[in-house]
Amino acid sequence: MNFISGITLTQNPATSFGPERIDNLLPGDLVENSYSHEIRAMGGFWASKFKIANRKYGIQYFEDLLLTGLGRHVEVGDTQAKIAWEGKVTGLNLVLPGISYSVKLNNMSNRVWARYVATAAGQEIGATIQDYDAELVAKLDPELDGSNSVVRSTKQNNSDSQTRYGIKEKVLSGGLGSSTLVDQATQAYLDNFDNPAKPTILFSDSGQSQEMPVLEVECQGYFRTLDWRTYNQTALSLNDDISDIIAAVVTAAGEFIGSVEITANTSQASQVYDSDRTASAILLDLARRGDSSNNRYVLGVYEERKLIYEPIDITGRDNITYFTQALSNDRNIRTQNGRVVGYPEIRPGKFLMVEDMMGISPANYDTITEDPQVTFIESVVYQEPFGLTLYGARADMLDVILGRAGLGGVSTI
Distance CA 369, CA 69 (A): 44
Is residue 146 predicted with pLDDT exceeding 50?
no
Give pLDDT tens digits for 258-297.
999 999 999 999 999 999 999 999 999 999 999 998 899 9
Q: Say whether both 285 and 147 belong to one domain.
A: no
Residues 23 and 98 in one domain: yes
- 93, pLDDT greater than 90: yes
Q: What is the signed CA dihedral for 83, 85, 86, 87, rounded to 10 degrees?
A: -170
**How many independent structural domains does the chain possess?**
4
Largest CA distance in the chain: 78
- Say which range, 96-100, 144-148, 224-228, 315-319, has the weakest mean pLDDT: 144-148
Mean pLDDT value across residues 362-391:
86
Mean pLDDT of 50-63: 85
- Are residues 14 and 143 part of one domain? no
| pTM of this structure | 0.88
Q: Give residue 123's pLDDT.
A: 57
Question: Could you give the CA distance from residue 253 to residue 225 in angstroms, rounded to a whole number?
Answer: 9
Pick 143 or 75 by higher pLDDT. 75
The answer, yes or no, to whether residue 392 has pLDDT greater than 50, is yes
H or E element at residue 276: strand 273-278
User: Is the pLDDT assigned to residue 142 strictly greater than 50?
Assistant: no
Distance separating alpha carbons of residues 312 and 303, to the nearest angstrom: 19
Same domain assignment for residues 242 and 122: no
Q: Could you tell me if 77 and 7 are in contact, meaning their C-beta atoms sit under 8 angstroms apart?
A: yes
Residue 156: inside a domain: yes
- Alpha-carbon distance of 159 to 155, in angstroms, equals 12
Residues 304 and 321 in one domain: no
What pLDDT sits at residue 55?
72
Q: What is the DSSP letter of 312?
A: P
Whole-number pLDDT of residue 120:
61
Residue 277 sits in which domain range?
A: 235-312
Position 81 pLDDT exceeds 80:
no
Mean pLDDT of 381-388: 90
Residue 250 lies in a domain: yes
The least confident of 29-43, 140-154, 267-281, 380-394 is 140-154
DSSP element (H, E) containing 166: none
Per-residue pLDDT band for 98 (boundaries 50, 70, 90) equals confident
According to the model, what pLDDT value does residue 34 have?
Answer: 95
Model confidence pLDDT, tens digit, residues 293-333: 889 999 999 999 999 999 999 888 889 999 998 777 777 89
- pLDDT, the chain, mean: 86
CA separation, residue 406 to residues 139, 240, 269 (Å): 8, 17, 12
Residues 69 and 151 occupy one common structural domain: no
Residue 119 lies in a domain: yes
User: Which position has the higher pLDDT, 219 or 96?
Assistant: 219
| pLDDT one-digit tens code per residue, 162-197 | 999 999 999 998 878 888 999 999 999 999 999 998
Output the CA torsion 7→13→18→20 (10° steps): 70
